[in-house]
Amino acid sequence: MALPSTLHHFDVALSHVDRGLDLQLGIKAARHPSETAERLWLRLLAFCWQWEETIAFGGGLGGDPEEPDLLALGPDGSTRTLLVRVGRPEVSRVEKDLARGGGARVAVLFEGERRLEAFLTESRGGRPERLARADLAAVPAALLSVLAKRDERRQKVGLTIVADHLYLDLGKESVDGPLIRGSV
């Protein structure tokens, strides 16, 4: 018998200064039994980094691997406007998202700068022009490690994003780190 996913509730005060956003969000994220705490936090950060009105979590680890980790739909409810991958996506998967996305924005948030660099190196060996439209960034592994220690099922988070830097207020603790950008 398969283990069920665990539902995590995040009450997020999001201030994305560069985009002029100041929001109170109630985010529910189902954590698959095989998903690490680091990946859960990465999905939450990607949700806030790329926030738009209809953003939602995709199928996740237990769903269709073809589906993105996050997606947003247009006003018609069927046209995809945003596809987001997190963690360690393969170059070919991101290329497919760009090719089949129907004009949707594509973003990838990597689990650490080393994974971003490995992705960029691999992409330069092929046809890097295909990936030029993707928004590529990484959260430092050290920051994810600190966040992963907070594994409560209900959490209040203050997140400010300004000039590609993340500032997180976690109640009694504050942490911050850069959003490391990459381009092909």
- With respect to residue 77, please indicate whether it lies within any of the assigned structural domains: yes
* Domain membership flag for residue 100: yes
Distance CA 13, CA 32 (A): 25
CATH number at residue 88: 3.10.640.10
Residue with tokens 């966040």, as numbered in its chain: 147
Distance CA 130, CA 170 (A): 38
Contact 83, 68 (CB under 8 A): yes
122 in any annotated domain: yes
- The stretch 115-119 carries a mean pLDDT of 97
Candidate ranges 63-67, 88-92, 122-126; pick with highest mean pLDDT = 88-92
What is the model's pTM?
0.94
Determine the structural domain holding residue 22 and report its residue range. Answer: 6-182
Number of domains forming the structure of the chain: 1
Integer Cα distance of 23 and 119 in angstroms:
32
| 148 domain-assigned | yes
Would you give the DSSP letter of residue 173? -
In a domain, 1, yes or no: no
Please write the tens of the pLDDT for every residue from 123-154: 988 778 889 999 999 999 999 999 999 989 99
Which one-letter DSSP state was computed for residue 184? -
Inter-residue contact 73 to 80 (CB < 8 Å): yes
What pLDDT, in 10s, does the model give residues 8-65?
A: 999 999 999 999 999 999 999 999 999 999 999 999 999 999 999 999 998 766 567 7
